[in-house]
Amino acid sequence: MSKDQHTQLCPAPIIFNMIGGKWKLSILQILIFRGTKRFGELQRELDGITQTMLTKQLRALEKDGLVERMVFAEVPPRVEYSATGDAMALKTMFQTMHQWWIDHREEKSLEKTLELQQ
């Protein structure tokens, strides 16, 4: 049992690579908490993302099995994206982060505010 055991087994860096970056987290949250969306809907709700970027991020998420892409053979074309079961299971992680923020960060901001008021 080497002393590196934990770091080697820890998937945190891999997970951060999968859902890190400027847009992936927002995309996932929309699909997880609001359900299936079309390409255009996603683009509107993400406020500022370009088609190029949205396509690239969705492809990356799909490749990692977090997003499912469904193409409908219609005119005009329709493509829907949804969170996979694996992605839905990330809710727990979001909640853990949320709790950590409440317990160890919000109070800090409050303390600072109080200090400034003195």
Partner DNA sequence: CTGAATCCTTGTCGATACTG
Partner DNA sequence: CAGTATCGACAAGGATTCAG
Residues that bind a second copy (CB under 8 A): 3, 6-7, 9-16, 20, 25-26, 29-30, 33-34, 65, 85-86, 89-90, 92-94, 96-101, 103-105, 108
Angle (CA) 87-89-93 rounded to 5° is: 100
CB of 93 to a second copy, least distance (A): 5
If binding is defined by CB under 7 A, does position 49 make contact with DNA? yes
Measured from the CB atom, the residue of 41 and 64 that comes closer to DNA is: 41
Measured from the CB atom, the residue of 56 and 112 that comes closer to DNA is: 56
Measured from the CB atom, the residue of 14 and 73 that comes closer to a second copy is: 14
Q: Which of 7, 16, 36, 51 binds DNA (CB under 7 A)?
A: 51
Cα–Cα dist 57/85, whole Å: 18
b/e per residue 27-63 (b: at least 16 CB within 10 A): bbbbbbeeeebebeebbeebeebeeeebeebbebbee
